Amino acid sequence: MSSSNATMKRSSRALVFVMLVGVAFSILWPLWLIGTAALRTNTDYLRNPFGLPGELTLENFRRLLDTYGIGQAFLNSLLVVSIAMVIQLAIATFAGYGLAKYPVPGSKFIIGGFVAVMLIPGQVLIIPIYLLLSKFGLVGDFPGLIIVYVATGLPFCVFFLALSFRGVPNEVMEAAKIDGAGFFRTFFSIVLPMGVSGVATVAVLQFLGMWNELIFAFILLPDDSKTLLTPALAEIGGKFVRDQTLVSAGLLVTAAVPIILLIVASKYIMQGLSAGFSR
Amino acid sequence: MTNVAAEALVGDAAAAASPTGRRAPKPPLPTWRKRERRIGLFAVLPAVLVVAAVMLYPIGFALWLSLNKTNGIKYEFRGLRNYTDLLTDPLLWQVVSNNIKFLISVPLVITAALCTSVLLFEKIRGWRYFRVIFFLPSVLSTAVVGLLFRSLFGYNGVVNSAVVAAGGQPIEFFTEANLAISVIVIALVWSGFGYQSLLLLSGLTAIDPAVFEAAMLDGAGWWKRIWYITLPQIRRTIGFVFIINVLYTFTSLFGFVFVMTAGGPGYDTTTVDYLIYLKAFGGASIGSGAALAVMLFILVGALTFAQNKVFRIGDDD
C-alpha cells in the first residue's frame, strides 16, 4: 500500500522525513514536558523545567485522588459517557438502518433536518436546556446530562450510520427477507455485523466528544461530588495556577483516555475523518 | 464534505422511494410496501423525537427567552429590546472585535496544515504513523489544550524559564490582552493544524495522478507543480477548511477562554460564546444571553449558507 507518488528525488525525500519529524516533535514535545512534570515534585520542577526528573514521585496523583476527588470524577465521566453512548448507539443504529434501507416517508426532509441541526452550537442550546432541565429537576444529576449528550450527538450518529449501512448489499438482505427474517432479525444478523466498522467509528468519535465536553458538564452538574473529569480538571487548573506539577498530573489523567483510544482505535478514528467533522 | 455526502444520501433515498411514490396517478401502495414504510418510520421515530425535544424545541425556547426579561421563573415580555440593547452596548462590539482578532489564527492554521499535508502527500515511509501523531491534539479536550498552554506559558512555565535562562524577566502572559490572545492563538494553531492537514490530504489524494505525470513530462519542477497544480486543484477543500476555521473561532473558543483567561483581563479576551455564558450564568441576564445566542446562531447559519453557495459555484466551473 506504500504507493509513493515518486515525484521527488531520494535526497529530498529524506528532507521531507526530517521536516515531518520536526512537525511531530512540535506536537509531542509539549505533551512530554507535561508528562514528566506530572511525575516530579514542585521544587525539583522549578529547579529545571526542561530537564529529566531528579526523582520520580506519584505525590501529585495522590493529592489529586485524596484531596480533589479526581478518582470520583473519573468514574462519573466513565459512567455518564458509557451510558449515553449505549443509548445513543441503540437509537442511532435503528434510525440509520431505517433511513438507509427502508422507504421512510419524508426521509429527505429528515436527513436534511439532521444535517442542519448538527450545526447548532452548544452555546446556543445551553441556556434553554438549563432552564428546561431545572424545571424538571434534572439539573445536578446524571440523567439530565445523559439526555443532552444523547440528543446532541444523535444527528451526526444517524447521518454517519445511514451512510455506512447503505454499503450493506441489498441482495444479502433480500435473501434474508425471503428466508423470513423480519426487521430485527435482519438488523442483528446482517446489518450490524456487516456495518460494524461504521458503528465502531461512531462509538469512538462520540466517546471522545462526550469525554472532552466542558460547558454542559460544567453547568448541568454543579455539585462537586457529581462533577465529571473535564470540568474538574478545569477547576483545578483555575485554582492552582502556579502549581505546575499538580496541574500537569491532572492534565495527564484527563488526556490519558483519549490518547489510549487514539492508539487502540486509530483505524476507526481515521475512517471517521472522511465524513468530515463531528463537532 | 458533509454536505456532499448528505446530497448523495438524500438523492439515493429519494430514488429508493420513487418506484412507488413518483408516478403521476398514484396507484395504491401494495400492502408489503406500506408495511415497509411503517417499519422504516418506526425505526427513525425515536431519533427524530429526541432531537426535536432536546434540540429543536430549546431553539424555539431560546427565541422566546430572547424576547423577555426573565430570571427563569418570571417572564416579562419586552419585544426586541434585548437585541437593541445588545447592539448598542459597546461591550458587544469589544467582544466581537476580540473574535475578529482571533481570526488571525485562520491563515496560520491553514498555512501550517497545507505545509504538513504536502509533506504527508509524498507518502514517505511511516507516513501513517505521522498521521496518527498529527491527529493527537484533536482528540484532546479544549480544556486540556488550554490548560496545557497556560502551563507552558505560565509564570513558572517552560517558556518563562527559557526567558529567565536567556537573562530576561519572567513575563506575565495572561495579564496583557494581546499577549493573552497570542497564546490562545498558538494553542488554536497547535490543536487544529494536524486534523486539518488530514482533511487537506484527502483533497490531495483525490487529484488525478495523470495530471502530475503530464506536468512532469512537461518538465515542471516540484515547486511549480505545487503552485500551478496542487493548490488550484484543492482550492475547494481549502475553502471548506477556511469556513470551518472561521466558524470555529466564533463557536468553539469557550473551552480555551474558560481555562486560560476567564475572559480577562477585563473583557479583553472575552469572545461571543464566552459572553453568552457570562450573561446567562454569571450576570443573571438570561434574556440578553439568549438574544446573543440567537444572533450567534444566525451568524453560524449565514456562514454555512455562504459556504454552500461557494461550493455550488465551485461545482459549475
Share of chain B above pLDDT 90, in %: 23
Q: Rounded to a whole number, what is the distance in Å from the CA of A80 to chain B's nearest CA?
A: 17
Cβ of B158 within 8 Å of Cβ of A255? The answer is no
Q: Quick one: pLDDT at residue A143?
A: 92
- The rounded distance, in Å, linking the Cα atoms of B304 and A120 is 11
User: What are the sequence ranges of the domains in chain A?
Assistant: 10-59, 68-273
CATH code of domain A68-273: 1.10.3720.10
Choice between B3 and B274, residue whose per-residue pLDDT is larger: B274
Q: Which of A7, A120, A131 faces B59 most closely, judged by CB atoms? A: A120
Which residue of chain B is at minimal alpha-carbon distance from A105? B37
Structure confidence at residue B31 (pLDDT) = 77
Q: How far lies B280's CA from each of A220, A228, B46, B90, B240, in Å?
A: 13, 21, 31, 18, 32
- Helices A244-264 and B142-152: crossing angle in degrees, nearest 10, is 140
* Residues of A in Cβ contact (< 8 Å) with B139: 208, 212, 258-259, 261-262, 269
Nearest-Cα distance to chain A for B186, in Å, is 12
Identify the pLDDT of residue B5: 45
Q: For residue A119, which residues of chain B lie inside 8 Å, CB to CB?
A: 300-301, 304
User: Could you read off the pLDDT tens digit of each residue along chain A, which spans 279 residues?
Assistant: 334 445 566 777 888 888 888 989 989 998 888 888 888 887 777 777 777 777 778 888 888 888 888 889 999 999 999 999 999 999 999 999 999 888 888 888 888 888 888 888 888 899 999 999 988 888 888 999 999 999 999 999 999 899 888 888 888 888 887 888 788 888 888 888 888 888 998 999 899 999 999 999 999 998 888 889 999 888 888 777 777 888 888 899 999 999 999 888 888 887 776 554 433
Q: Examine the pLDDT at B258 and tell me if it is beyond 80.
A: yes
Minimum Cα–Cα distance from A265: chain B residue: B132
Confidence class for position B181, pLDDT limits 50, 70, 90: very high
Residue B97's contacts (CB-CB under 8 Å, 6 or more residues apart) are none
- pLDDT, residue B25, reads 59
Q: What does DSSP assign to residue A40?
A: S
Q: Which of B3, B4, B9, B127 to mutate to test the interface with A (most CBs of A within 10 A)?
A: B9
For A116-125, what is each residue's pLDDT tens digit? 888 888 888 9
**Residue B96 confidence (pLDDT):** 92
Q: Which of B127, B149, B293 sits opposite A127 (nearest CB)?
A: B293
Contact between A127 and B283 (Cβ < 8 Å): no
Domains within chain B, CATH numbers bracketed: 2-66 (no CATH), 92-316 (1.10.3720.10)
Interface probe, candidates A8, A29, A127, chain B, greatest B C-beta count within 10 A: A127
> What is the tens place of the pLDDT at every residue in B42-64?
888 999 999 999 888 999 999 98
Residue B199: alpha-carbon gap to chain centroid:
13
Instruction: Residue A149: name the closest of A115, A117, A122, A116 by CA.
Output: A122
Question: Which residue bears the cell 446482517?
Answer: A190
Q: What is the pLDDT of residue B312?
A: 55
Pick from A7, A164, A201, A254 the residue to mutate for testing the B interface (most B CBs within 10 Å): A7
* CB within 8 Å: B37 and A118: no
